[in-house]
Amino acid sequence: MAKFLENLQEAEKIIQIADHWTYVSFPLIKDKKLLLKTMIEVKKALQYCINSILQYEYLYKRIRLFKNPKTNFQTFERKCAKHYNISQDEVKLISELFDIVEKQKKSSMEFVKNNKIVILSENLETKTIPLEKIKEFLLLSKKILEKTKNKILQ
């Protein structure tokens, strides 16, 4: 099976799990690790979708791929997003999620307070992510997956 199809399947699996965690598991157990894990998994699902798009476009020689993931993301943003009906706002939201997860990886501490993830950086700056924002990221990943599948599997 083509790599881009494997990526789509993996993204779909991850999104289903993240959806269950967000709407079923978290309200029951209220574990901060689950919210963090959900956010990280949604990022991973979006990466799979973007990689699928890039690999598909590369296969048909519409784009070039690079070793640098940031350059590939720029290629996705400039050359692929519009072709897949992914709006600029959606691309900005994807970038925001990637940035938050990167900050979380580098953070010295994070905790959950009132259904919000609070991330502390080394210089004690705080970044607060409410549960609604995580749900927004999850919804975004579902939309991107659908748009990707609609275009690739037509």
**∠ CA(40), CA(46), CA(52), 5° rounding?**
140
Query: Which structural domain, as residue segments, surrounds residue 93?
Result: 3-106+132-152
d(CA 143, CA 154): 16
Q: How many domains does the chain have?
A: 1
Element (H, E) at 93: helix 88-106
| 110-125 pLDDT per residue, tens | 887 887 888 888 778 8
For residue 118, the SS3 value is strand
Q: What are the C-alpha distances in Å from 89 to residues 8, 32, 96, 106?
A: 22, 28, 10, 26
- The mean pLDDT value of the chain amounts to 92
CATH of the domain at 56: 1.20.120.330
d(CA 107, CA 119): 7
pLDDT band at residue 1, thresholds of 50, 70 and 90? low
| 66-123 pLDDT per residue, tens | 999 999 999 999 999 999 999 999 999 999 999 999 988 888 888 878 878 888 887 7
- Looking at the chain, the whole-number percentage of residues with pLDDT higher than 70 is 99
What pLDDT was estimated at residue 114? Answer: 81
